[in-house]
Structure 1
Amino acid sequence: KNVVRQSIETSLQCLQKASIELLSLHQTDEYIIHNSDFWEVINEFKERNIIHLFGVSVYEVENARELINEYGDFIDFIQIPYNIFDRRFDQIASLLTEKNIDVVSRSAYLKGIITIVEQEIPKELSNIKKFKRKLADLAESLNFNVQMLALLFVLNKEYISTTILGVNNTKEIEENVQALSKRGQLLDYEELLRELSIKDEFLIDPRRWKSI
């Protein structure tokens, strides 16, 4: 308890603030999930209004489910990997909505795999090429580029409130803003989009890759 409390108090001193608007835990492992002392401290600081919003970053659906069922009352938002190939967290969409937990998504382009040309795909990920071809064909038929279609897919998910994107220049920012105006255009293509969902977790979990 003291370590967690001291860490938060040190952050407050460094920030020269009396409270923290948003605190996010970026490594949620089994130790944290089963550490009741940690959650007692978080609850204490929230009740004292020192932490206004608290969230966690997760990689695995079951970890997220366990966290929410056990400590959902303390969690305001959760950050998840989500993209047109990786839809694992759809399994707990209703639970997240029920608990009124905001969802922040990351990895919209699967660490660049979705947008790079096929020739640059590492050998260990060669099985993802057929999905990239389907995605490219669908994007062309809808008169989108692949990047915009991939982003639109994530933006269309009602249970996701925020999407984190990396950009290299202002042109990419403008393209992302443009995508917002086209959110409704995918509603008639659910069946085709469903075919792009990948079940092989190796292909959609960058932590397992050796070459990237």
Structure 2
Amino acid sequence: MKIALGTAQFGLNYGVTNNAGKVSRQEACKILNYASEQGICTLDTAPAYGDSETVLGDISALAKFDVITKIPSLKANQSSISQIVTNSIHILKRPFLDAVLFHDADDLLNSHASNNFAQAVSLKEQGKIAKIGVSVYSPEQLFRICELFPIEIVQVPFNCFDQRFSTANCLALYDELNIEVHARSIFLQGTLLADFETLPEHFRPFSAEFARFSSVCQQLNCAPIRLALAIIYKFDFINRAVIGVCDQSQLSDILNHHNEALELANSNAIDFEMLKCHNLALINPATWPIKA
């Protein structure tokens, strides 16, 4: 199962198409139990996701999952990484963390980078962290960081529109350094699954990209969610795809399309190349002039 469960919605009203708001604790418990039953074994969280870690720590089913969390941006406050990680371990009620990612890639590129990474290595040597990684927004960030530090796991944005991390150079890097790759933003914060007419005004200039995506769905007679999921199986370098949901029914819907998405990817019926877009105003939610 490539799908990992993202938990930003457990602590925040997250996502441009999220009309349901923050997930209730009762629903979060239902989601985790259902995810475990369906074979999902990895959870992604972060201190930056509101009280997501606290919510997870209070759910007994958490013990069934590998847990990945993150070191918040240290830019404004050079906090002790040891203190941050120890606090996450305590809140999540775990003996150790399966992976810890630097949430802000600049923390491995600025003048404090060597010290920051050394602190993470020390925590790994103490058995508090199994893998050290980073969350990046561009291939350029990834290449620069990998020249400096032995990264074991990386989280990257990847979807039908944003395929920047599937170039030959990127694939060679993953292979050479044995990097585990986790993809986020598979649905581009839900925009790939939404009716284009309901999207905010910011997306109007990209009607051609959405129309092309919709056209492929029609040609293949498949739901948008199935096409959006198929790309994670088309590219073998993706080890996990982090997907967030607002309730158990959303997760059920995703998993109901899982096998068909795998079959679709293996059928070679899709030319994903024709769907890619290089315009950051569409593919990078950080550029959207709306709450995302």
Q: Does the 8 Å CA contact 1:148/1:175 hold for their aligned counterparts? A: no
Q: Which has the higher helix share?
A: 1
Q: What's the counterpart of residue 125 of structure 1?
A: 203
Q: What's the counterpart of residue 7 of structure 1?
A: 84
Q: How does 1:194-205 map to 2 (within 5 A)?
A: 194-205=273-284
Q: Which amino acid in the other structure matches residue 264 of structure 2?
A: Q
Q: Does the 8 Å CA contact 1:82/1:89 hold for their aligned counterparts? A: yes
Q: What's the counterpart of residue 143 of structure 1?
A: 221
Distance 1:127 1:41, change over 3 A: same
Compute the displacement of 1:211 (Å): 3.0
Secondary structure at the counterpart of residue 189 of structure 1: coil
Q: What's the counterpart of residue 241 of structure 2?
A: 163
Q: What's the counterpart of residue 82 of structure 1?
A: 158
Q: Distance in 2 between matches of 1:173 and 1:53?
A: 27
Q: Which amino acid in the other structure matches residue 105 of structure 2?
A: T
Higher RCO (Cα < 8 Å, 6 or more apart) = 2
Q: Distance in 1 between matches of 2:124 and 2:134?
A: 15
Secondary structure at the counterpart of residue 103 of structure 1: strand
Q: Distance in 2 between matches of 1:36 and 1:120?
A: 46
Which stretch of the first structure deviates more once superposed, 41-50 or 13-22? 13-22
Q: Does the 8 Å CA contact 1:156/1:184 hold for their aligned counterparts? A: no
Using structure 1 for the length normalisation, give the TM-score: 0.86
Q: Which runs of 5+ in 1 are unaligned?
A: none
**CA-based RMSD:** 2.3
Q: What's the counterpart of residue 209 of structure 1?
A: 288
Q: Which amino acid in the other structure matches residue 68 of structure 1?
A: C
Using structure 2 for the length normalisation, give the TM-score: 0.64
Distance 1:48 1:167, change over 3 A: closer
Compute the displacement of 1:54 (Å): 1.9
Q: Distance in 2 between matches of 1:16 and 1:211?
A: 35
The alignment of Structure 1 onto Structure 2 pairs a total of residues equal to: 208
